[in-house]
Amino acid sequence: MKAWGTKGTGPGEFGELNSIAMDSKERIFVADRGNNRIQIFDKDGNFIAQWAQFGRPSGLYIDNKDNLYVADNTGVTGGIRIGSAREGSVSGFVPDADSDPKRGADEDVAVDSQGNLYTAETPRRSVKKFVKK
């Protein structure tokens, strides 16, 4: 067991942790929603980078091709941001069709073997499926 980080805003510090995922290089991606960023560490907990281009991340999913799916729960502009875990680029966005901040937003994301997206939403306590075309 390993642990690292403290509360704060600097590299390797956390505001509000919400999700964790690992890519094919065994880098650890942490959704630091409280600081509006994803932080990336090696498997020993050494800080590598931070990315803010994925919004306010609540949920993370990385598939076997290192595609990164991020549940961004910013409310009005919330949804799923899709990009590359290798280089940090954002290539797609699936908006939350019900993006009323009073009703909640996407909290987590998963992808099945056919490429369909699933989002968990609060406080609606629901799951949505987006079918890949």
Query: Going from the N-terminus, what domains does the chain have, and what CATH number goes with each?
Result: 6-130 (2.120.10.30)
pLDDT at residue 97, rounded to an integer: 63
User: With bands split at pLDDT 50, 70 and 90, how would you rate the model's confidence at 6?
Assistant: very high
> What's the rounded mean pLDDT across residues 21-31?
98
Take residue 124 and report the two structure tokens written for it. Answer: 């609606």
pLDDT at residue 95, rounded to an integer: 84
Residue 128 and residue 64: Cα distance in Å, rounded? 22
pLDDT at residue 125, rounded to an integer: 76
- Torsion angle of alpha carbons 124, 83, 57, 102, nearest 10°? -40
- Give the global pTM: 0.90
User: With bands split at pLDDT 50, 70 and 90, how would you rate the model's confidence at 10?
Assistant: very high
pLDDT at residue 99, rounded to an integer: 52
Nearest to 106 by CA among 90, 115, 87, 119: 119
User: With bands split at pLDDT 50, 70 and 90, how would you rate the model's confidence at 98?
Assistant: low
> What's the rounded mean pLDDT across residues 35-54?
96
Residue 110 and residue 102: Cα distance in Å, rounded? 24
